[in-house]
Structure 1
Amino acid sequence: MNEKEVAEIRRRFRQDKSNITHIRGCFVNEKREIVSEFNQSLALMSQEESEMFLSVIKRTLSGTIGKNLVDISFTTQQVVDSEEHKLLMELKNSSLKDENAVQTFFQHVIQALAIEGNYLILLAHDTYDIPYRSQDGEKQDDASSEVFSYILCSICSIKPPQPALSYYVTENEFHNRKAEWIVSAPTLGFMFPAFDDRSANIYNALYYSHDIEDNHAEFVDAVFKTDIPMPAAAQKEVFQSLLGDLLADNCSYEAVLSVHEQIRQMIEEHKANKEEEPLALSKSTVKSVLKSCGVSDSSMIAFDEKYDAEFGADTQISPHNIVDAKKFEVRTPDVTIHVNPERGDLVETRVINGTKYILIRADEGVEVNGINIHIY
């Protein structure tokens, strides 16, 4: 799914837009026991409660594509004949009314998920009359091209509030705040099927992970029986290690800046061209960038082996996972310098009388602790 498709579904999570009538779920304690289950009607909630519920599950479709939101693909064999795909289809097709399917899903999640403390498993079903769009992109609300039926799963941690005094107006007294459980934003979740090309794609699901350092691969394996790319933070760490090893003694400020600048420009060009599909870098693209930055031909052989071992030969990487287009940082044990990514040329390294220095050109507007200073 691309950003526009995710945004189109996200806009539905309002009381006047959504066709979600019930929220099913269960409360799981730290011992992996179901404490309670619920099947709550949004119509019987107050408008404020309903909007808050929708706001919570809506956040399962938030974050950056390729970083927090990842496409999960099923093989043709899985779609034709697999228990995991059949279960998801039963949940969707029954609008979460198949009790056996719901209970089976709960148990799959509970047995697999490695998460500390208490949490909620939330399930919602929605149907969306997709407005027809003409070739010029104009939306026609009175003409539906397809009814998109999907389920959304959100896993939310539940925590008690911090102790505090509360003022009770009716009693005109202060008391300890009542110990109620507070639902946190989703830790992980998914939407099935995916909304690709503004249509249902039962070969894909959209998976969400709040933490870019832990994508809960154990959950993906239990629910989808497939692998998931390494977490975004791990991809960045592996790429940085790979770059350092390949450049070796030639790993200079200029070389690292050049790699960052080339990938940043790819991101900017993709954005300027208003490409709908997320930008992804293939192994050959990464090789071209590295080669232009001085990586030797002999090192490229090592790159192939390391890339295949760490990422997979056919794996494409989101550039947002390996560079921060809005940030460029120079760090020593005692000093950290944040540089405008477009002005990396203002910084250089030099050895003066045997001592290593980082030099920053500073023509004007220099401040120290918020005070303008003069450089003599």
Structure 2
Amino acid sequence: MNKKEVLEIRKQFSPENCAITRICGCYVDGDKEKRLEFKEAFLSLPEEETFKYYDIFKRTLSGTLGKNLINMGFPLEQELKGGTQDFLMQLKNSKLTDDMLVSEFYDKVIEYYDFGEHYLILLIHAAYDVPGRSSDGSEMFDASDSVYDYILCSICPVTLSKAGLCYNALKNSIEDRVRDWIVADPANGFLYPAFNDRSTDLHNILYYSKKPEELKDYFIEMVLGCSEIMSAGNQKESFQHILTNTLGDDCDYTVVKTIHENLNEMIEEAKEEPEPLSLDKQDVKRLLNKSGVTEEQMESFDKDYDENIGAGTSLLASNITNLRKFNIKTPDIVVQVNPERTDLVDVQVIDGRRCLVIPIDDQVEINGISVNPR
């Protein structure tokens, strides 16, 4: 799914566009025991509750594609009878009215979702009447092409509110506040099936993780049955490892700076594209060559890439560089540079020592205090 498709589904979580037919939930304590199960026709809920649920569902489809929102495909064996995709299909097709299937889903989550605290499993079914599109791209609501039938799962931590004092309006007094269990924003979740090319894609799923470095790999493998994926942090570390191995002793400031600049330029050129920029092995090889890495230095590149990332695995450009930050670090000093002005920093030999050289103008501050550079 791309940004536009995610946004199109997010827009359904409002009173005007609501296509949710049913909501189910299971409250789980820190000992993995079910405390509460419920199921309702969504539109029968009080209005003030539905707005709070809308917020949760929107947040389950929020964040950056490739970091918080990850497109994943099912291995072929999981689409056979008894596989995870087959189970999710049954769950979707039941429209969450089969209590046995819903309870089995809760049991799977409880068994394989490693959290250790209280949490709420929310599951909704919705049927979105996908409007057609005219030649100019505008929606034609009276010309529906298809119905996108889906389920959305949100797993929300439940935390105890802080102790404190409060004002009791009835008694007109200050007293100890009653501590409540509060449902927080979702930590993980998924949308099935995916909404690719504005239509149902039964072979793919969109996974959500609030923290990109805590993807819950075991949950993904055992409940969703999807192949192992690399987190944003792992992609960056693997890319850095490959650079270090490829360049060896020739890994100098100029080459690394040039790679950073070229990557950011590629991201800038692709920013209007619906899909985030991804780089396969050949793309990364071209990037390094363009940045001054020689063919001789690239001798071990293919092997390093296959071992650390995978021959058929691509990296998201936004995961392996930082558009907002360019740091130069020594054991005692950290220099933060505007990523658009890396040209201001140079490496020179002065009095026999290699030095970072940064030209300064009349505006210099130290700990917020303006000083005279002259």
TM-score range, shorter chain: over 0.9
> Which blocks of at least 5 consecutive residues in structure 1 are unaligned?
none
The match for 1:354 is: 352
How many angstroms apart in 2 are the aligned matches of 1:73 and 1:168? 53
Query: 2:132 and 2:188 mapped to 1: Cα distance?
Result: 31
Partner of 2:204: 204
Equivalent in the alignment of 1:142: 142
Q: CA deviation at 1:15?
A: 2.2
TM-score, length of structure 1 as denominator length: 0.94
Which letter does structure 1 place at the counterpart of 2:345?
V
Instruction: Report the equivalent of 1:264.
Output: 264
- Native 8 Å contact 2:85 2:225 kept in 1: no
User: Aligned to 1:309, which of 291, 294, 307?
Assistant: 307
1:164 maps to 164
Q: Give the structure 2 partner of residue 179 of structure 1.
A: 179
Between stretches 301-310 and 314-323, larger displacement belongs to 301-310
Deviation at 1:258, TM superposition (A): 0.7
Q: Does the residue aligned with 1:297 lie in a helix, a strand or coil? A: coil
> Which residue number corresponds to residue 341 of structure 1?
339
Q: How much has 1:29 moved relative to structure 2? A: 1.5
Contact 1:84 1:223 in 2 (8 A): yes
Cα 1:116–1:358 shift into 2, 3 Å: farther
Give per-residue Cα distances to partners, 1:195-248, cap 9 Å, x unaligned.
Answer: 000000001000111112121111111122221321111211221122122222
Tell me how far apart the structure 1 counterparts of residues 20 and 177 of structure 2 sit (CA, whole Å).
33
Measured after TM superposition, the shift of residue 144 of structure 1 is: 1.2
Q: 1:229 matched to which residue of 2? A: 229
Residue correspondence of structure 1 range 44-59 to structure 2 within 5 A: 44-59=44-59
Deviation string 1:152-185 (CA, Å, 9 cap, x unpaired) is 0011111111111111111111222212111121
Q: Which moved more, 1:73-82 or 1:90-99?
A: 73-82
Contact 1:127 1:150 in 2 (8 A): yes
Aligned 1:31-46 pairs, distance under 5 A: 31-46=31-46
RMSD: 1.7
Following TM superposition, the consecutive aligned residue runs of length 4 or more in structure 1 with deviations greater than 6 angstroms are none
Deviation at 1:43, TM superposition (A): 3.6
Match among 323, 326, 329 for residue 324 of structure 2 = 326
Shift of 1:82: 4.0
TM-score (norm 2): 0.95
State the match for 1:220 in structure 2: 220
Structure 2 unaligned blocks of 5 or more: none
1:13-162 equivalence runs, <5 A: 13-162=13-162
Q: Report the 3-state secondary structure (helix = DSSP H, G, I; strand = E; otherwise coil) of the residue aligned with 1:125.
A: strand
Mean CA deviation greater in 32-41 or 315-324: 32-41
Write the distance in 1 (CA, Å) between the matches of 2:51 and 2:169.
26
Q: Which amino acid aligns with 1:186?
A: P
1:5-40 alpha-carbon deviations (Å, 9 max, x no partner): 001111111122112243211111122111211224
The alignment covers a number of residue pairs equal to: 374
Whether 1:284 aligns to 2:282 is yes
What is the identity percentage for the equivalent residue pairs of Structure 1 and Structure 2? Answer: 42
The separation in 2 between residues aligned to 1:324 and 1:367, in whole angstroms, is 25
Deviates more, 1:281-290 or 1:38-47: 38-47
